[in-house]
Structure 1
Amino acid sequence: MNVEEFRDFCLSFPNTREGMPFEGFFRNSRSILVFYVNEKMFCLFDLDKFDHCTLKCDPKRIDELMGEKGIDKPFNLSPKHWISVALNGDISWEIVKDLVTQSHKLVVAGIS
């Protein structure tokens, strides 16, 4: 899956929009693309690198997932609620898509 296909997948969820809220901040965060459901983030990644994405995650699953190759602590977000997922082939695209779907559902449930 390339960056455009991944972007299209993230935008396929209901009430989802994208934005680049960090453009005016730090030089290394200008190309961070964030996906929101309503006003809450559920996925973000660096357009220039496209080597990993950061996803909201059920805190009950984080310890279990941290034992998997390609899952790590997020950069600059709470490791209690977020994970970093490698997009380099360590994890199958089916699992990545499932984690993105679960992230979206988790955020929707928090909004309701």
Structure 2
Amino acid sequence: MDIEEFRKYCLSLGDVSEKMPFGKFAARYDSILAFYVYGHMFCFIDIDNFTFVNVKSTSDEIEYIKERHVSVGNPINQSLKHWLQLNFDGDIPDTSIYTWVQRAFEIVRDKYTKPTTHKKECSKPEL
């Protein structure tokens, strides 16, 4: 997997921004690049050690992936219940990693998308 290709893919998902937010907490996290939708993180990578991606997920999906693949790990400083680390040089094909990144994007996007309400126009009955 190529880091620039991965970055372009994430940015192509729509309403995505990127930040390097963790360096202010500890210098060892200066190289963490996070991708956000509506201001909320859905995945992140280490640009100095591009060997994995951490993705937002659901408990059921995390269990599903862990049952089928050995190249998964615990996410860096994130909840084990909501985040999963996918290792690039393992048994998960790049196409599947892109699918899980898209799924992470959808989870976060859908959580923070406000439902549209349609106001019904009521006509007054003629008297």
TM over 0.5: yes
Q: Does 1:76 align with 2:77?
A: yes
Secondary structure of the 2:23 match is coil
Deviation at 1:89, TM superposition (A): 4.1
Name the residue aligned to 1:57.
57
Residues 49-106 of structure 1 show CA distances to partners (whole Å, capped at 9, x for unaligned) of: 0011100012211112112121222121001000000012431110000000000000
Higher alpha-carbon Rg: 2
CA distance in 2, matches of 1:27, 1:89: 28
- Provide the alpha-carbon RMSD of the alignment: 1.1
Question: Which sections of structure 1, spanning at least 5 residues, go unmatched?
Answer: none
Name the residue aligned to 2:117.
none
The TM-score normalised by the length of structure 2 is 0.84
CA distance in 1, matches of 2:76, 2:21: 16
Question: Which sections of structure 2, spanning at least 5 residues, go unmatched?
Answer: 114-127
CA distance in 2, matches of 1:95, 1:43: 15
Q: Percent identity?
A: 34
CA distance in 2, matches of 1:69, 1:27: 30
- Give the 3 Å change call, closer, same or farther, for CA 49–80 of structure 1 in structure 2: same
Count of aligned pairs between the two proteins: 112
The TM-score normalised by the length of structure 1 is 0.94
